[in-house]
């Protein structure tokens, strides 16, 4: 027997055309899955939770991650695995958020969706659903994983790379997750809630010739953290103005994180002088993390009322399938 919990949040996979463009269609995907997928598997029972209304995932808000986490925590003991159906636009954010929010997962939580509605003849939905379902049934992938276009990606290290093609997701390095530690537990699932009120985060992207006015604003506003999108392995153009804004932000108790603009990156602020000055100021490395993981890990930590040093320490620790930062 396998007891599967399905949480259908919406997304293209279950959408139908309307005079306003594609919109989610209630009960449509559930009917498809029961008639084309589930009935062929002996011993499978399915609990289907469908959001009302179903959403285009571009509309998702962090309070809805809490809602998903709550259903999983409430239902996991009665089920062997969880399948989440999600729109692709923010799927990587939800996967990252759940990876950091759900501690003590000892069963698979698999997320999928598709680029084309299941009703289209060339839809990638059926193959994505089959891969996701077989990953649930095999129980080999414990924790949060994304199944998409023949790939199985760790929820904490996946990003959307294509807005049209079927190969829409990637896990840009680290390429070998085999040796990474994933904390297994038989304790009840512990949820780290996200409180959106407590985790306003700014993002500043460097480009050649950029002015720093908006960074100046970020250094004094009410946000709790600033993510700097740097070049290459964590380098930025040095200036007295930059140092001033970063000192102001850090003195105000903000966490400032250095995240590379490169998709496959590994921030190393000791490699070049152009990164070293950030390290000296107290900027924290995002190392190999994706933008989605950096953002959601910060959200989880900032929601916990921990003080600055604890957030910095825990941000550098490995949770689930993440590359451990080198100890210096
Ligand atoms: N806009 C859709 C969504 O994210 C795109 C998709 O599902 O592929 O809900």
In the Cβ-directed half-sphere of 219, how many Cα atoms lie within 13 Å? 16
112: confidence class by pLDDT, cuts 50, 70, 90 = very high
DSSP letter string over 218-272?
HHHSS-SEEEEEEBTTTB----HHHHHHHHHHHHTT-EEEEEESSSS----TTS-
Q: From the CB of 94, is ligand 1 less than 6 Å away?
A: no
> CA-to-CA distance for 25 and 28, rounded, in angstroms?
6
Ligand 1 pocket test, pick from 9, 56, 118, 167 with the greatest ligand atom count within 8 Å of Cβ, gives 56
Q: From the CB of 124, is ligand 1 less than 6 Å away?
A: no
Residue 216 has pLDDT above 70, yes or no: yes
Least-confidence region, from 132-141, 177-186, 212-221, 231-240: 177-186
Please state, as a whole number, how many other Cβ atoms lie within 10 Å of the Cβ of residue 208: 6
* Ligand 1 centroid – CA 87 distance (Å): 4
Q: From the CB of 89, is ligand 1 less than 6 Å away?
A: yes
Q: What is the pLDDT of residues 44-99, one digit of tens each?
A: 999 999 999 999 999 999 999 999 999 999 999 999 999 999 999 999 999 999 99
> CA-to-CA distance for 182 and 316, rounded, in angstroms?
16
Residue 66 preceded by cis peptide, ω within 30? no
173: confidence class by pLDDT, cuts 50, 70, 90 = low
User: Ligand 1: which residue has its CA nearest to atom 3?
Assistant: 87
Residue 168 CA, closest ligand 1 atom number: 8
pLDDT (0 to 100) of residue 178? 47
pLDDT (0 to 100) of residue 189? 79
Tell which residue, 99, 101, 104, 79, has the closest CA to residue 6: 79
The Cα-based distances of 296 to 46, 95, 268, 284 in angstroms read: 30, 10, 21, 15
> CA-to-CA distance for 246 and 291, rounded, in angstroms?
20
pLDDT (0 to 100) of residue 232? 94
Residue 12 CA, closest ligand 1 atom number: 7
Ligand 1 pocket test, pick from 53, 58, 128, 167 with the greatest ligand atom count within 8 Å of Cβ, gives 58
327: confidence class by pLDDT, cuts 50, 70, 90 = low
Strands 225-230 and 255-260: parallel
pLDDT, mean of residues 10-22: 95
Q: What is the pTM of this model?
A: 0.94
Report which of residues 322 and 162 the model is more confident about: 162
Please state, as a whole number, how many other Cβ atoms lie within 10 Å of the Cβ of residue 199: 20
Angle 272-278-281 from CA coordinates, rounded to 5°: 140
């Amino acid at each position: 027997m396998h007891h599967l919990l399905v949480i259908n949040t919406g997304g293209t996979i279950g959408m139908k055309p309307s005079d306003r463009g594609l919109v989610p269609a209630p009960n449509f995907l559930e009917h498809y899955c029961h008639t084309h997928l589930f009935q062929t598997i002996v011993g499978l029972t399915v609990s289907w939770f469908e959001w009302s209304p179903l959403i285009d995932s571009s509309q998702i808000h962090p309070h809805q991650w809490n809602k998903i986490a709550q259903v999983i925590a409430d239902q996991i003991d009665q089920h062997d695995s969880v399948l989440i159906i999600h729109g692709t636009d923010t799927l990587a954010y939800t996967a990252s958020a759940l990876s950091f929010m759900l501690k003590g997962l000892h069963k698979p939580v698999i997320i999928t969706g598709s680029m084309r509605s299941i009703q289209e003849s060339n839809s990638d939905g059926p193959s994505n659903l089959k891969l996701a379902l077989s990953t649930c049934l095999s129980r080999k992938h414990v924790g949060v994983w994304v199944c998409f276009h023949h790939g199985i990606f760790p929820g904490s290290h996946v990003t959307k790379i294509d807005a049209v093609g079927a190969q829409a997701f990637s896990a840009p390095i680290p390429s070998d997750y085999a040796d990474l530690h994933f904390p297994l537990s038989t304790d009840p699932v512990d949820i780290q809630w996200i409180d959106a009120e407590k985790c306003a985060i700014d993002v500043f992207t460097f480009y050649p010739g950029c002015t720093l006015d908006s960074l100046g604003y970020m250094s004094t506003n009410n946000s709790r953290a600033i993510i700097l999108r740097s070049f290459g392995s964590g380098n930025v153009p040095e200036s007295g103005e930059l140092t001033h804004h970063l000192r102001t932000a850090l003195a105000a108790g903000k966490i400032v994180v250095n995240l590379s603009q490169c998709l496959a990156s590994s921030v190393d602020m000791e490699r070049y002088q152009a990164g070293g000055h950030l390290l000296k100021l107290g900027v924290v490395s995002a190392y190999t993390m994706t933008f989605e993981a950096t953002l959601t890990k910060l959200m989880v930590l900032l929601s916990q009322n921990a003080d600055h040093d604890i957030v910095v320490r825990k941000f550098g620790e490995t949770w689930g399938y993440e590359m451990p930062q080198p100890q210096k």
